[in-house]
Amino acid sequence: MTTISDPATLDPAAARGLFRAGTAVPTAGWASGYTQANLIAVPADWAYDVLLFAQRNPKPCPVLDVTDPGSPATVLAPGADLRTDIPRYRVWRDGELVDEPADVTGVWRDDLVAFLIGCSFSFEWALLAAGVPLRHVDQGRNVAMYLTDRECRPAGRVHGPMVVSMRMVPTDLVDTAVRESGRMPAVHGAPVHVGDPAALGIADLDRPDFGDPVVGEPGDVPVFWACGVTPQAALMASRPPFAITHAPGYMFVTDVRDEEYRVG
Amino acid sequence: MTTISDPATLDPAAARGLFRAGTAVPTAGWASGYTQANLIAVPADWAYDVLLFAQRNPKPCPVLDVTDPGSPATVLAPGADLRTDIPRYRVWRDGELVDEPADVTGVWRDDLVAFLIGCSFSFEWALLAAGVPLRHVDQGRNVAMYLTDRECRPAGRVHGPMVVSMRMVPTDLVDTAVRESGRMPAVHGAPVHVGDPAALGIADLDRPDFGDPVVGEPGDVPVFWACGVTPQAALMASRPPFAITHAPGYMFVTDVRDEEYRVG
């Protein structure tokens, strides 16, 4: 049996190769420095509504690439196959989750258009580099994500609430976190809210809708960023006949370096 | 006869009111500080290809808003009417320019989807504020625009070359111009090229494809930015059955302040 090397030091193609071969684990910390992306694939006749929804809601839905109908290839990772190279998928019918396989070759369709959406993992390296601790990473947990009471601007048949990710940030580093993430508008940008969860309609920080609860340190403030799981919440609300997404936390690892999405 | 006040000090609604009433002049310098936008309206069955073309070519085609089919309203300027509030339009049939009216109410269609695309006027204030002179403004001319030999990434039926705008910049201010425009990715961002026009396939700077030739001062370098006229060049190349655009230089004046598109 071979030993898997440190996932952080793998190059993206090697990471995708392991996922293609059946390794089905969350991708946080894998292929450090390379952008990870959310996947949402819908039939072509829903593609305009999804693309317009993303254009109208760029903070939660920053589009990094859109494929041609039926194609499992993306410019973000030449040679990759979107049907096999994500460690875990979700398959949706009429807005209901029906399966969570590690490969979707068998259910892929010739009319599927795949959207690759930016992920907050991309700005986390910038937070760390600026001295902002990542509590969920230190605690070995998935980031905490919440449905909010803020409706996205709808587009045709696609509508739904904004989903946010939350990080506990020391009060004196909130300005740093805002500035650093604000320089990366292609991967969610600056926070949408700092402080009171109730302002976003979040009743209990200890009960996230996706991911794991995260414990803050004394003096920490909850900081909320628009989250790439928002299109999945829109799928659940808008009920297209068929869709494939990644499973939350099990992202597509691209060949693009995070710095390429940094502005200024 | 009433006197028109200084166009620069007009608020956007007042400027649009004058255009609606028949004033048909270029909008450079009007409603200073407010974002101006390129218009391209196509039938709904072409909208996905146009939106995807814009997504795939964000530097020349930064989308600021997309309307619902048939609607002449935009969130960028509540109360405005896209059929009347631009000083001059272009009407296209099968990729051919057929009319340049000051009002398109009579040819508007219920299936038209309008795209409002960012304009380099929005970063010019930032260049000026940073001390970069604008030769074309000083010379009272429209900015010079050129077709290049760089093909945009195509999307469905939509394809065409990138169009660039060119500004003559003093050599020691090129870094400032790059940095300041780079902070505004929603309105074309950093230049695509500095220096040799031949590198973009431009044979003669004195013969722009759109706008006016501009004279440089000794020590100036030509600096090229991706240009919002690119979608018009794509229309000419891709020949949708019908389209309406603004006339180059006769832009849509929005209620959004230019600073809102600045990052970091």
Same structural domain for residues A211 and A188?
yes
Residues of A in contact with B52 (CB under 8 A): 51, 66
Same structural domain for residues A252 and A218?
no
pLDDT digits (tens, 9 = 90+) for B31-57: 988 999 999 999 999 999 999 999 999
Same structural domain for residues A101 and A132?
no
Task: Determine the average pLDDT of the residues in B195-208.
Answer: 96
What is the residue range of A40's domain? 8-119+243-258
Instruction: Look at residue B168 and tell me if it is in a domain.
Output: yes
Instruction: Look at residue A138 and tell me if it is in a domain.
Output: yes
Cα–Cα dist A84/A92, whole Å: 17
Q: What is the number of structural domains in chain A?
A: 2
B52 and A66 within 8 Å at the Cβ level: the answer is: yes
Rounded to 10°, the helix A230-238/A44-56 angle is: 130
Instruction: Look at residue B219 and tell me if it is in a domain.
Output: yes
CATH, residue B218: 3.30.2040.10
- The two structure tokens encoding residue B205: 């700077």
Q: Residue B76 contacts by C-beta under 8 Å, 6 or more apart in sequence? A: B35, B37, B64, B65, B116, B252, B254, B255, B256
Same structural domain for residues A147 and A209?
yes
| Partners of B73 in beta bridges | none
Residue type, A79: G
Q: Calculate how close chain A gets to B26, using CA atoms only, in Å.
A: 29
Same structural domain for residues A222 and A251?
no
* φ/ψ of residue A243, rounded to 5: -160, 155
pLDDT digits (tens, 9 = 90+) for B224-262: 999 999 988 998 899 999 999 999 889 999 999 988 877
Q: Calculate how close chain A gets to B189, using CA atoms only, in Å.
A: 9
Instruction: Look at residue A143 and tell me if it is in a domain.
Output: yes
Chain A residue at shortest CA distance from B157? A68
B264 and A179 within 8 Å at the Cβ level: the answer is: yes
pLDDT digits (tens, 9 = 90+) for A85-117: 999 999 999 999 999 999 999 999 999 999 999
pLDDT digits (tens, 9 = 90+) for B95-109: 999 999 999 999 999
Same structural domain for residues A168 and A215?
yes
Cα–Cα dist A33/A126, whole Å: 10
Q: Calculate how close chain B gets to A182, using CA atoms only, in Å.
A: 6
Instruction: Look at residue B115 and tell me if it is in a domain.
Output: no
Question: Taking Cα atoms as reference points, which of A212, A181, A180, A244 lies closest to residue A38?
Answer: A244
Instruction: Look at residue B252 and tell me if it is in a domain.
Output: no
Instruction: Look at residue A264 and tell me if it is in a domain.
Output: no
- Window A:18-77, CB contacts with B under 8 Å: 47-48, 51-52, 55-56, 63, 66
Asked if the ipTM is above 0.85, the reply is no
Instruction: Look at residue B106 and tell me if it is in a domain.
Output: no
- Window B:118-157, CB contacts with A under 8 Å: none
